[in-house]
Every structure is written in structure tokens, then in C-alpha cells.
Chains A and B, each alone.
Chain A
Amino acid sequence: NAGVMQNPRHLVRRRGQEARLRCSPMKGHSHVYWYRQLPEEGLKFMVYLQKENIIDESGMPKERFSAEFPKEGPSILRIQQVVRGDSAAYFCASSPLSRKSSYNEQFFGPGTRLTVL
């Protein structure tokens, strides 16, 4: 059973370009979380998604950032018009959590390191 997969592992963008980060959850997991880790800082929650639904996006910046988790395919975190301050490691986690389940351990991917020049 492959773990959580993220690609690309490293992404370089120039200011003003778009960044697309992909996350494929573990098999059987239908819940995805995105986190951002700025250099020398802790992880900050961004968004929690189920298939085709955004459940909690309270950690997402109001502008330029969006996330989706379609019925088919990976979850996508999209950053439009990137700025230098967006440079960070972006981690995705998945869990088998359902609203009726108390087992909701999160499993993390290796992260995508975004560098904005």
C-alpha cells in the first residue's frame, strides 16, 4: 500500500506565475489535509477536504490560494500569482476518517518545496 504521494517534490516559480501542487492520498483514504511550513517555523493548517467537498478552509489565505479534491484524481493546491513569501514546504496528509469513525490518524506525504524567485 503506497503512502501519500506528492508531486513535484521541488518546484521553482518566478513571481507572478502559478504553482500547482498535487497530492494522492493513501489507498482507501478519502480525506485530505494541506499544511504549510515556512522556514524555521511549525506546520500551519491550510485546508481539509473530502472528495468533491471543502470541509474547513479556515487556514487558507483569502486570495490567490485554492484547493480541490475531485471525485477522480489527486487533490490540487493551487497558488496563483506567486510571491516570494509563498516559498515554503507544503505538506499533504490523508486519513481514513469518516464522520462516524473515531480513527483518524493522519499520514503525511514527503512534501513539495516551493521556491519563488
Chain B
Amino acid sequence: KQEVTQIPAALSVPEGENLVLNCSFTDSAIYNLQWFRQDPGKGLTSLLLIQSSQREQTSGRLNASLDKSSGRSTLYIAASQPGDSATYLCAVINTGGFKTIFGAGTRLFVKA
């Protein structure tokens, strides 16, 4: 049974810091992994999608890596800004099915 864990559960950093959010999954037979951001009371915004054959994806100040063999992904945020404050969610889809498993998220607060 696939389980997705995100560490830390919450993080507070001063503006300008580079930071890393971690996601681990127990079953390496994944189809892809997707990172989302969720603002309070809002829906999810897709940030990056990494296919199982890929090692990383980049978009602006965001970089996500994937290591299937170790069951880990990281989301790197460069030069953090107060507007980055949100909950960041990691989700995987297993091969052989389409059920998406979400982690509980990391709540990020960037102080001005």
C-alpha cells in the first residue's frame, strides 16, 4: 500500500532563504509525482509534474527532483518570498492504476 510522507509538517523561514521540502513514498512503482500548492480555503495549484522516467523539473524559482529507487522527492524553493506562504502538497500516482495518493503537506510561512 502506497504511503506518502512529507517532512517537515510546518516550516517558518525569513524572506530570501533557500529551502527544501521533502516527500517520501513507500512504493517505488510510481507513474508520476506532482507537487501542488494550496492557499487557505482555496483549491490546488499545480507546480511541477515529474514523470517516472525523469529526474527533475524546474519552473522559475522552483526545482523538484525525483529519486524513485530511494522513494524520495524534494521541492527546492530559491530566494523565498512572503507570497510563497502556503501549504505544499506532494502526490504520486502508482503504475497499474490511477489512484492519486497525497501527502499531508508542509505548511510554509515566509516572514517579511
Interface of A toward B, CB cutoff 8 Å: 33, 35, 41-45, 48, 55-56, 58-59, 91, 93, 97, 102, 104-111
Q: Are B49 and A105 in contact (CB under 8 A)?
A: yes
Once bound together, how far apart are the Cα atoms of A48 and B97, in whole Å? 10
Q: Are B89 and A43 in contact (CB under 8 A)?
A: yes
Contact residues in B for A91 (Cβ distance below 8 Å): 43-44
Q: Are B100 and A33 in contact (CB under 8 A)?
A: yes
Task: Kindly identify which residue among B34, B89, B101, B105 contacts A45, using a CB–CB cutoff of 8 Å.
Answer: B101
Contact residues in B for A102 (Cβ distance below 8 Å): 51
Task: Kindly identify which residue among B31, B46, B97, B102 contacts A56, using a CB–CB cutoff of 8 Å.
Answer: B97
Q: Are A42 and B44 in contact (CB under 8 A)?
A: no
Q: Are A48 and B46 in contact (CB under 8 A)?
A: no
Interface string of B19-62 (1 = CB under 8 A from A): 00000000000011010100000111110010100000000000
Interface of B toward A, CB cutoff 8 Å: 31-32, 34, 36, 42-46, 49, 51, 89, 91, 93, 97-105
Also in contact, A108 and B45, with CB within 8 A (given A42-B89, A42-B105, A43-B89) = yes
Once bound together, how far apart are the Cα atoms of A93 and B36, in whole Å? 12
Q: Are A104 and B105 in contact (CB under 8 A)?
A: no
Which chain B residue has the least Cβ–Cβ distance from A113? B41
Once bound together, how far apart are the Cα atoms of A90 and B46, in whole Å? 17
28 inter-chain pairs at a CB distance below 8 angstroms, sorted by A residue, are: A33-B98, A33-B100, A35-B102, A41-B104, A42-B89, A42-B104, A42-B105, A43-B91, A44-B102, A45-B99, A45-B100, A48-B99, A55-B98, A56-B97, A56-B98, A56-B99, A59-B99, A102-B51, A104-B31, A104-B32, A105-B46, A106-B34, A106-B46, A108-B36, A108-B44, A108-B45, A110-B42, A111-B42
Q: Are A110 and B98 in contact (CB under 8 A)?
A: no
Q: Are A105 and B34 in contact (CB under 8 A)?
A: yes
CB distance from A53 to the nearest CB of B (A): 12
Q: Are B43 and A110 in contact (CB under 8 A)?
A: yes
Contact residues in A for B42 (Cβ distance below 8 Å): 110-111
Which chain A residue has the least Cβ–Cβ distance from B87? A42
Which chain B residue has the least Cβ–Cβ distance from A6? B43
CB distance from B86 to the nearest CB of A (A): 14
